[in-house]
Structure 1
């Protein structure tokens, strides 16, 4: 769909209008992603399981899954509603900036609240509030790539975005692991993550300096407008849903292991607390370094290939190989091999998949809403992963072995779905 333009207002940029790569957009979104995703995963993958283990050690796997289930429902609604509101926002600061700044402030407040709760029901409620605030950052931040980057530059700019995203994806867990040990240190870690998230939206907003959106045409609230801006897309959306479910399944394969990494190291690999802390850091570092290397190169390569889906499928194959490896041996080094191979795959995936997402959007006018829905593949998989893992562990009476072949199969299925996306290579 072509971009919509009226006097003083334009909702996207064409290739002809942007001969040079808008590097600052990549830098802004990369820093923004680093500062929301890193703290989120530092808590979600490391500190939240540690807090749950302290409060209800006998039901830790089930409680993590319960929190994840509730959060998935809230995140789904928040992505759609906040994304749709962002698309319609008219302000002197633009459509996206007010939301990412408010979301950053709210994330600090809710994480600080979560830090002090000591009952399971209250943990679920506060974590859901945090999901609302966090998703006020996520979808509008991603929409900068659609609003301000021409299609021919999206692979390269998505690689810059992916650089920050990858550091957050794995660096957050490295940082979170440094606070393992005592309940007091876990609480300190959660508060630190809240203050880091506070920086996400403001820093991105200052770098981007989003144009005002006051010239955007006003929209009357009609049933048709509601359908367009606040529900899942219904027209020209085949590629959109293939990308959504392919991405979600691949991400679920990795987050099922990452979300239960602490328990895998303690109950499957059988490491003590010191060993767990050491290997969480080593695995996260391997995942991060290999993913960074691939994320830097994969986006520009996909621009030259004029294809997004082939690199994404190759990434899914690497993820499958990496996640199945610990099924063959319980030796601690098997988790390092997982980190190496899966990290290579995820680096390619992070860089190229985001560019693919931008190209399957049904309508540029609803970019934040639709990107928010696509982002459910990220936030949703962070929630689905623990649910899948808990189901496997429960069915196997406490055994973690089945997680590895199941996740390998999921990665391959997700990659196959991406292969069915139709892409116009002449427009890339």
Structure 2
């Protein structure tokens, strides 16, 4: 990891830059795939699945037989672990339910707000080098709690034309209604436009590589909502001399192994800790099956030494990490004052991987600095807030004149007339 000691604030923007391509670099490819899927549907899906995933499928819809075979192939130990994670995720997301909000703003004027589920949602589950069955839990569980009617899951097939057994097991466990073997840009395009095999949905969820992220952003141009721009994974650890260097190194590597375009950053007030962590990273990385990928990510990562907690907090908020671990003598300072982070992990015994899998919080989080404005996925992500109002005769008399005056001032006579006609009828 590259070491930076007390960098000048003027250099922070460049120092904290993510190792990702710009949208312009890949948007032309994404637009080409979108245009093809829009024009030729499943024919384009088949071509791109063959091109990008290296497999030609006779049918890209997962059958019940495939699901049953997958379930039988998952070990009982792993099933128990998945069920435990599902239970914790259900508990945390069920607790996010809110009651109807009702207010009589003035006599005769009743206003209220209620939640309604998004009827059709698409879940994108990355496959490739690491089939993320945990993401099925993070997306399908709150979708089911919210009451979404159609839960469509897309995940890229492997070279044998299969989706990982664990993904299929989790999908069946969590009430997914349709599973399709399609990945990458073409999956997002299919969910955006709809094809003979892929239903068009109202909102798309799920992380992915940079191409998937840009594809999701492009989907919004065609009237489909997305959870957030969630791209390559990232982690920032704030630690001081009280932290355990081996723990910190393991946390940094847990994100670095996601992919070569992941980024991990250590911020510390202790140079000796930074040096010890660097030694631990080099030691632990050699034991990882995905060490070559992790090494590329680590080469893009940094250790930043700052003079005090206040400077550290300022730098962290500028970066806006997806995952933020704090392991210091005064964790409360950071917990109480942090403004920009997707999810926060507190203390020496709270690894980021707990949130990735089983603690109960959601691991689908804003990356690339979007935590400054976006929340991670939660129950509300699968719902819409609808407002209602009911006005009585007395109510329109109380509020009517104000509406007439405001409408007239804006030059909207029909708006005024809609009130005036009612008031005249009441008074006659």
TM-score above 0.5: no
Compare relative contact order (CA 8 Å, sep 6+) and give the higher one, 1 or 2.
Answer: 1
Larger radius of gyration: 2
Query: Higher helix share goes to which structure?
Result: 1
Query: Higher strand share goes to which structure?
Result: 2
